[in-house]
Amino acid sequence: DAVFRLHALDLAESQAAAGGQVWHYSFEYASEAFGGLLGAAHALEIPFAFDNLHQRGISLLLGEVTEEMSRLATGMADAWVSFAQGQSPRLPGGDPWPAFSQTTPTTAVLGVESSLTTTHLDEVRDLWTSRG
């Protein structure tokens, strides 16, 4: 959290405050490899974002590729293509994914059931800032 999540959130807030367009996400698909030890580790979303779960070696980090994983990967890749084309992305499943803003800090929670929230990291931020 202290190394990645909080800095990503700070960057999203700064970019939105400067008038830029921002889409914030939290990848929460937990890998089943190594008995679930990895969870939703940093960079685990990369094969999903490029929809290349079929590549050699991917199952080492993800476990056996399932249909739900393939749906998530296709949805994430479609969203990333939309970003690259300058379009507003959609969540896996097709629902609109609004941009993050100062007034509505929307985070897409990407996982088995993808959803949107505006309070996703409040507890995390409160925990780390209270340790100050």
- Measured between alpha carbons, how far is 38 from 93 in angstroms, rounded to an integer? 25
Structure tokens that stand for 3 in this block: 């190394």
Give the chain's radius of gyration (CA, Å).
15
0.85 exceeded by pTM:
yes
Section 41-50 average pLDDT: 94
Name residue 20's amino acid: G
The counts of H helices and E strands in the chain are: 5, 3
* Mean model confidence pLDDT for the chain: 91
Predicted pLDDT at 131: 62
**What angle (nearest 5°) sits at the alpha carbon of residue 86, between those of residues 85 and 89?**
90
**Neighbouring C-beta atoms of residue 20, cutoff 10 Å:** 11
